[in-house]
Chains A and B, each alone.
Chain A
Amino acid sequence: MAKHIAKRILITIPVLLGLVFLVFFMLNVVPGDPVTVMMREHVKEDLIDRMRQSMHLDDPFIVRYFRYIWDMLHGDLGISWKLNRPVTGLIANAFPYTLKLAVASSLFSWIMGIPVGIISAVKKNSLLDHLSMGISLFGVSMPVFWVALILQNTFKNVLPISGADSWQCYILPTIVLGWSSAGRIARLTRSNLLDVLRSDYIRTARSKGLSPLKVINRHALKNALIPVITVMAIQISSLLSGAAITESVFAMPGVGGLAVEAIKKRDMPLLQGTVIFTAVLIIAGNLLADVLYSVIDPRIRVE
């Protein structure tokens, strides 16, 4: 088991290096000079040159890349051109908000999604099934910003619609993000459970006279939830990586909002930092999913 996990971790190292190269390369070959964006109109040519020099933009790409890697290994992701602060600090400052939102919306999606999926599977083709699957589909297919606006409009006099000052500020963004995830989990739980319920060992359990509740609880659910748990692990990492739109609409100072601002202002160090941070989280989420999968399902380890 430990060997399997170690192998998975080792595989992520080249993935990370490749990713950093790709991000750095893509953000540095886009056309246009970021200094002209940063500076006001009609600055002296000399000032632009000096600014470019101070930002090391004159150095060859490869020099800049290795400097970036070296600094990154020392925990330094550069200074945000727009906010004039270390990118590492900015991400560290924003991450707790994103973390809280991700955890809350994940919990929301699990608490809502798994029971709904189970009920739908058990009450297959009933009104309840159609209703809950309809609501799930709605959550999955509606654009996040639209759901956010509707909820803001509906609850603007009762709940905070912006900021992250209090726990109440997290209620609406949690529902917005969690609804879409809950929909996915509910649909996945339902389809997996239906598959499992059709299998021979469930039929055997039933024929032994076990109650439907015991059949589902003890026998069906464990197997049905294996793929769901994997999806949940990946889902957390993508939520952690910053729900950019939700954070922007609800004016939450998280990593997603930071990335959006970096894109708008062409703040390369901040954008590089947030993209790499996000990608690392996603890789970590996938790694977690792999590990969880092998913990839950021993067949994977054997393979």
Chain B
Amino acid sequence: MKRTLCLLAALALALTALVVPAALAEENDNWLHIFLTEDPETLDVQMTSDSYTIPLNCFDRLVETDTVDGAAQIIPGLADSWDVSEDGLTYTFHLHEGVTFHNGDAFTADDVVFSVNRMMEHDRLAKNYDIYYGIVEGAAECFDGEAESVSGVTAVDDNTVEFKLVKPCSSFLSRLATPGGSIFNRESTEGVDDFGVNPAVCFGTGPFQVTEWELGSKVKVVANPNYFKGAPAIDGIEMFIVSDADTQRMMFENGQVDVFNFDYAESQLQWFKDNGYADQIVSGSRAGTYYFMFNTAIEPLNNPNVRKALQMAVDRQVILDQMYSGEGQVLSTFIPEGVLSFNADAEPIPYDPDQAKQILADEGYADGFDMELAITSDSDAGRKISKTLCSFFGKIGVRATVAEYDDATYKDIRHNGQLPSYYGVWSADYNDPDNFLDTFFARRNTVGRSINYDNEEILNLIDEAQGIIDFDERMAAYQKIDQAVVHDDAITLPLYQRNHLFCLNPRVHGFKVAWNGWSDMSFYPITLGD
């Protein structure tokens, strides 16, 4: 019997030694371990609008957006400096000398010209074309197939590149700093079909180089020792592809990942707070607005007073508390904090259901009315928030119901301007108010967003604002637009902006919460150690 027991014990020990995962044994390595919820669409950032982790870590742009004291600031990237002509139409970039791509090729102005032209190629159908379209001379013509190349971008010499704009565009630098503005290597990219899916041919100038991409499993990037801003302090980043929030949390618990991003798994926040991780959670304001948008073409929402009554019916702090543990702030502007022209002194939208009822009665809706709120069927948060909004509207007699659509149908109907009013979120791609106000309320977008805004004065101002050169005048214009859409015309009800929240392994240092609204970030500043 004793012998049997000894044998069993030995067997158990041997098995334990075999099955202890490699990751647990390697927890003190100099690699950062994170997770992504899905495979990147492609490593070619010109062709994706939502897989930004790789471009932010493996490619550089002429200028970059950095977070300084929680706010966005344009800093030099591949360009050390730049000059802007007085009329705001010519941007000349002086490039950093001695920069090399991961394959050793030298970076020159020609690579910038190549990258811009590649984005605007007629047949490429690049998703981020709007960085240059209608802004850089010849970009629209090239994209529309009327020109062979973009006439507005030229290499003056190896280290100088010049952009000529169609009209002044104050957000031009911010646009260049978005991932879509990443610079590719002409030599290794031109004519290469599998650029974007094959790490072996994907060379940037960034602090990390992609070396491995196992579909559905992980992406590995290693430190670029020749990075022109200095080699990263870590050896590389291992990104596990994990879609399940509970699995993500357990991987963090057992040390397999160093950074837990709550953007991907907000349901886990309370667990972390309740289980001794509260001190490891870092946060920062997220430049994104959660909003409720009225379709002003649907009666009685074509009446601004009815819209104002609905604005007053909602206690937004309650939604923020219930949905996101109060992690954020209630907004009374469409531009969130962190984005230029944010008006901290904007008049608050009151929560006053009694007055809301009175307004409805005055407008002839004492018995309320029926209304639909549209959501996509795959959004649990959207469903919860919309149902909460319905219950708030119900308190002032409005019989609101939720209408669910699959994503494609939702976008189809919205595109035609016929979607019922809806809840949504918009995060900053670049630090400029036109990223918010133009995107939603500009004449060319308001129908496609099912807003159907028709205040000609404000629509004209939106068209003009992008070209205003004087900074203060431009900010004032955007504040006026914001005031109109939120307060005067009550086209939208801004709800709140949330915080970015991350839980960090104590060995992670130098982690900086990004200013923007994305969940993707650069891990270049990170160091690992006790």
**A interface residues with partner B (beta carbon < 8 Å):** 30-34, 36-37, 39-44, 46-47, 50-51, 54, 82-85, 90, 93-94, 149, 152-153, 156-166, 168-169, 171, 248-254, 257-258, 260-261, 264, 266
Contacts and interface: CB of A to CB of B under 8 A. Distances in A.
Given A94-B216, A252-B216, A161 B250 contact: yes
A264 B253 CA distance: 28
A162 B22 contact: no
B407 to A, nearest CB: 5
Contacts of B241: 251, 253
Nearest to A252: B216
List 3 tightest A-B contacts by C-beta distance, closest first.
Answer: A32-B408, A253-B216, A40-B49
A164 B217 contact: yes
29 contacts: A31-B412, A33-B408, A33-B411, A40-B128, A83-B42, A84-B42, A84-B197, A85-B197, A90-B215, A94-B215, A152-B246, A156-B254, A160-B256, A161-B247, A161-B256, A162-B247, A163-B218, A248-B244, A249-B244, A249-B246, A250-B247, A251-B242, A253-B214, A253-B241, A254-B216, A257-B243, A260-B243, A261-B216, A266-B408
Nearest to B23: A160
Interface string B90-125: 000000000000000000000000000000000001
B39 A83 contact: yes
A159 B254 CA distance: 10
B243 A36 contact: no
B16 interface: yes
Interface in B403-433: 405-412, 415
B166 to A, nearest CB: 16
A254 B241 CA distance: 12
B20 interface: yes
Contacts of A39: 49, 127
A33 to B, nearest CB: 5
B19 interface: yes
A152 B216 contact: no
Interface in B190-238: 196-197, 214-218
Contacts of A264: 378
Contacts of A161: 247, 250-251, 254, 256
Contacts of B197: 83-85
The winner among B18, B127, B405 for most chain A CB atoms within 10 A is: B127
A158 B38 contact: no
B250 A156 contact: yes
B411 A42 contact: no
Nearest to A36: B411
A165 B250 CA distance: 17
Contacts of A47: 125, 129
A54 B39 CA distance: 24
B237 to A, nearest CB: 16
B416 to A, nearest CB: 11
A39 B406 CA distance: 16
Given A32-B406, A36-B411, A37-B408, A251 B448 contact: no
Contact of A31 (B49, B125, B246, B408): B408
Nearest to A264: B378
A36 B415 CA distance: 9
Given A36-B408, A158-B16, A258-B216, A42 B41 contact: no
B425 to A, nearest CB: 12
A260 B241 CA distance: 14
A33 B217 contact: no
Nearest to A155: B19
A32 B411 contact: yes
Given A33-B411, A162-B256, A249-B247, A82 B242 contact: no
A162 B125 contact: no
A144 to B, nearest CB: 12
B315 to A, nearest CB: 29
B19 A159 contact: yes
B29 to A, nearest CB: 15
B130 interface: yes
A39 B408 CA distance: 11
Contacts of B448: 42
A259 B309 CA distance: 45
Given A164-B217, A251-B241, A253-B215, 5 more contacts: A84-B42, A162-B240, A249-B244, A253-B216, A261-B39
Given A149-B246, A152-B247, A248-B243, A266 B407 contact: yes
B71 interface: no
Contacts of A153: 250
B435 to A, nearest CB: 11
A168 B41 contact: no
Nearest to A55: B125
B528 interface: no
A253 B243 CA distance: 11
Nearest to A94: B216
B21 interface: yes
Contacts of B22: 165-166
B247 A257 contact: no
Nearest to A47: B125
Contacts of B410: 32
A162 B215 contact: no
Contact of B18 (A40, A93, A168): A168
B253 A163 contact: no
Contacts of B243: 248, 251, 257, 260-261
A54 B275 CA distance: 51
B6 interface: no
Contacts of B14: none
A171 B19 contact: yes
Nearest to A35: B408
Contacts of A261: 38-39, 216, 243
Contacts of A42: 130, 439, 445, 448
Nearest to A157: B254
Contacts of B41: 82-84
A170 to B, nearest CB: 11
A32 B407 contact: yes
B439 A41 contact: yes
A27 to B, nearest CB: 12
A90 B197 CA distance: 12
Contacts of A41: 439
A169 B251 CA distance: 13
A288 to B, nearest CB: 28
The winner among A36, A156, A163, A249 for most chain B CB atoms within 10 A is: A163
Nearest to A266: B408
A260 B38 CA distance: 11
The winner among A159, A162, A258 for most chain B CB atoms within 10 A is: A162
A51 B196 CA distance: 18
A50 B122 CA distance: 10
Contacts of A36: 408, 411-412, 415
A33 B250 contact: no
A138 B22 CA distance: 32
A143 to B, nearest CB: 14
